[in-house]
Amino acid sequence: MAVLNICLEGEKVLKMKAKPVSKVTKEIKKLLEDMAETMYEAQGVGLAAPQVGLSLRVVVIDAGSGLIELINPVIIEQEGEETDTEGCLSIPDAYGEVCRSARVMAEAYDRNGKKIRVTGEGLLARAIQHELDHLEGVLFIEKAEKLSRGEGSNA
């Protein structure tokens, strides 16, 4: 496993719509492992492949209940609404209030190519939506209200 470089705001790959993964290969499995190690090292809750420079629809999330790996994820159900503070490993100096669905269900493939469904509420729901936005080239700062930037912003 390896810790990958995290792309920062301004890098083109963060604004591109990511490409679907056509087949789960050993390279995709290694990418999942490296992304998880990178996320944990950076003390993040989620990481999308574009954040490590790859325009692929691959996401890892750990909102406190263990690692979730999603390949070609799509949100198939969402309900409710809640606003909370978000940050992003690609924009380390920014925090903002973002309104998102309170509960979501995503469908994706796991590392074995099996179709899975993940349902999340609270932080997990927020992380799923945040990371799937990355796959569409959307950064949380584009959706945030009350955005704080710079050192010492304690949102």
The residues assigned a catalytic role are 131
The values of phi and psi at residue 106, to 5°, are: -115, 145
Helix (H, G, I), strand (E, B) or coil at 22: coil
Q: What 8-state DSSP symbol labels residue 13?
A: G
Q: 11, 23, 16, 30: which is closest to 113 by C-alpha?
A: 23
- Joined together, the tokens standing for residue 15 give 């604004």
Q: How many CA atoms lie within 13 A of 15 on its CB side?
A: 6
